[in-house]
Structure 1
Amino acid sequence: MSTISIIVPCYNEEESINLFHDTVEKVFTNMRENGMNHQPEYWFVNDGSSDNTLQILRDLQQKAPETVHFISFSRNFGKEAALSAGLHAATGELITVMDVDLQDPPELLPKMIKLIENDGYDCVGTIQHDRVGQGKIRAFLSSSFYRVINWVSQVRIEPNARDYRLMTRQMVDSVLALPEYNRFSKGIFAWVGYNTTYIKYESQPRAAGETHWSMAQLLEYSLEGIIDFSDVPLKLATWVGAISFLISIVGLIFVVLRALIVGGSVAGWASLVSIILLLGGIQLFSLGILGNYISKIYLETKHRPKYIIQEQK
């Protein structure tokens, strides 16, 4: 009997945990009835929840101590830290990452397992076929993010890919070998390579509760992904500065020639101020890009842990 480790990050998900566990258990029961002999190993990661999530995880672990485990952080460290903690704790031959809100259909697991065990894949990912229930602006920004990051990065990230995927132990070990503090899982999963295929599915509504990702958090997360996997923004700042410099030289030559030929110059404080503001804005824009990269270096050189575990069972 092979073990499948199921990593489930949780942040204020008291309404979803038991429902998620019951749903996944039904899937494994159906798998055993169909001759698929696999044992689940749950790793719930409590990411500093402020509701009753931790107590529910304790109760669930006591009911099924052989299969249910949990990790509880000392505070909220973010989903990337929760994924990293779960991957480190998992002991199964196959490892999957799932959202507790059941937007990642557990019913896909049998198909994903067969693709790895029978067809030789190292990873089976999932892609949302549509974005039902998601606002048009949010859907547009998400699609734009994948276009941008695949343009600026040497690593291709499948558009609309979810964190939900099933991986072999070898692939997970390769992911864990990457020591960086700033982590963007979708990019890391793509960077390590391996033979990967994807399954498309229609968007599922949350089983309970509401999303904890605001528009601002998603934008920040997207920028982190671009910075983590590309130096194109730095090159962009260089080219913008170079082009501005050349335009300034051409403008200076024009002003000098005009003064020598025509005599005097046309008064125009408004245009002068506009040029100064333009150049100042370009400089601040370039410094902002550089600052983001420096901040990443600063965080890496601190060598702080990605998370602190307060309780684990």
Structure 2
Amino acid sequence: MTTPPKSVPLVSLVVPALNEADNVRPLLRQVQAHVEANPHVRFELVLVDDGSTDGTADLLLAAPTDFPIRLVQLSRNFGSHSAISAGLERCSGDCAVVIGADGQEPTTFVSDALEQWDGGFEVVWGVRKDRAAVSRGRQVTSGLFSVLFTRIAGLDNYPAEGPSGVLLDRSVITALGRLPERNRNVLALVAWLGYRQTRVSYSQLPRVSGESRWTRRAMVKLAVDSVLQFSSLPLRLCTLVGLITALLGVGYAALLVARTVAGVDTPSGWPTLLVVVLLLGGIQLTVVGVMGEYIWRIIEEVRHRPLYVVRRDITADASERDSRGAREGW
């Protein structure tokens, strides 16, 4: 664990948010609960507004609180993992805890994670013992992906149950900032970095308001990005399928030659030719598609576009927030 520069360590709560205006007040109450449950540390809230259109940022800036608040407002929606990266790059804490804006992480998670951090661990994963208000199908799909991804990518530290929240020591945050990937799974990168890692389990609380912003499209994109980022398995599978197809072709040709030599009638006509053409064409298109996914990601990396664009980066002091809060009915 990095030695904090002050006698009382500073803990940054990094929260990515997209259209979470209804959850701002419950979130601040939750942060206040973390503050009261952990008097041996100081807290700051770093909320990254990932292109919200419902006034999430302005509501946060007006909130009267006893702890520092930093708002990082992105110019548009760049995705939750880009938002997490923006928050980690701008937080000031000796460690950072990434939590959601929906209030589903209990106070015990942060307290238990800080206890493990005090014990010398540099990465503390939050693992859900049970999930609140999530369909059985989604739970099975998410769990299956986590298990397969762990094996495919060879990331032994990545929780097979699927991580939800994580504490990072300052040394890990610094190392993570040196990784330039644009199509990123931040949690997988943390697992890849190594360091001393452990886990704490907790029961997920019901979402306070609204619905999860994790759409099926976003989950599929994250799954594809994660696999392509950490594994060459798709390319190897293409090679394997190509070899198997070639062997089948050679075997079928040998069978036809043998039947001809033996004087046995061989099948002829367009049906056989059509099957072969469709099979080979399908395999070729699949291989080209997989290669195209890798090539597109290479193009995105060499463009060197920023991972995100910051529209506003504001640290509002308590007096300013108190006056705004009074005007806006806090």
Q: TM-score band (shorter)?
A: over 0.9
2:125–2:166: 8 Å Cα contact kept in structure 1? yes
**Structure 1 letter corresponding to 2:133:** G
Is 1:295 equivalent to 2:292 in the alignment?
no
- Counterpart residue number, 1:311: 312
Q: What root-mean-square deviation, in Å, do the aligned CA atoms of Structure 1 and Structure 2 show? A: 1.7
- Counterpart residue number, 2:49: 46
- Counterpart residue number, 2:107: 106
Q: Greater shift after overlay, 48-57 or 293-302?
A: 48-57
TM-score, L = length of structure 1: 0.93
**CA separation of 1:181/1:132 partners in 2, compared to 1, >3 Å: closer, same or farther?**
same
Matched residue count = 306
Q: Greater shift after overlay, 153-162 or 221-230?
A: 153-162
**CA separation of 1:200/1:271 partners in 2, compared to 1, >3 Å: closer, same or farther?**
farther
Q: Give the drift of 1:264.
A: 5.2
Relative contact order higher in (CA < 8 Å, ≥ 6 apart): 2
- Counterpart residue number, 1:140: 140
- Counterpart residue number, 2:166: 165
Q: Greater shift after overlay, 122-131 or 185-194?
A: 122-131
Q: Give the drift of 1:87.
A: 0.6
**CA separation of 1:128/1:99 partners in 2, compared to 1, >3 Å: closer, same or farther?**
same
Cα separation, 2, equivalents of 1:24 and 1:4: 11
1:77-103 per-position Cα deviation (integer Å, ceiling 9, x unaligned): 111110111011011111110101012
Matches for 1:61-210 after TM superposition, within 5 Å:
63-64=64-65, 67-117=68-118, 119-156=119-156, 157-210=158-211
Is 1:15 equivalent to 2:18 in the alignment?
no
Q: Give the drift of 1:154.
A: 2.2
Q: Greater shift after overlay, 261-270 or 170-179?
A: 261-270
Runs of 4+ in 1 over 4 A off after TM superposition: none
Matches for 1:254-269 after TM superposition, within 5 Å:
254-262=255-263, 265-269=266-270
Unaligned runs of 5+ in 1: none
TM-score, L = length of structure 2: 0.88
**CA separation of 1:67/1:242 partners in 2, compared to 1, >3 Å: closer, same or farther?**
same
Q: Give the drift of 1:131.
A: 3.1
Q: Greater shift after overlay, 279-288 or 87-96?
A: 279-288
1:163–1:185: 8 Å Cα contact kept in structure 2? no
Q: Give the drift of 1:53.
A: 1.1
Q: State percent identity of aligned pairs.
A: 28
Unaligned runs of 5+ in 2: 1-7, 315-330
State the SS of the aligned residue for 1:211: coil
State the SS of the aligned residue for 1:198: strand
Q: Give the drift of 1:41.
A: 1.0
1:133-158 per-position Cα deviation (integer Å, ceiling 9, x unaligned): 22222122112212221221122221
**Structure 2 letter corresponding to 1:25:** Q
1:260-290 per-position Cα deviation (integer Å, ceiling 9, x unaligned): 3326532353343222212211111111111
Q: Greater shift after overlay, 229-238 or 137-146?
A: 137-146
Q: Give the drift of 1:258.
A: 2.0
1:6-34 per-position Cα deviation (integer Å, ceiling 9, x unaligned): 110010100111211112112212322xx
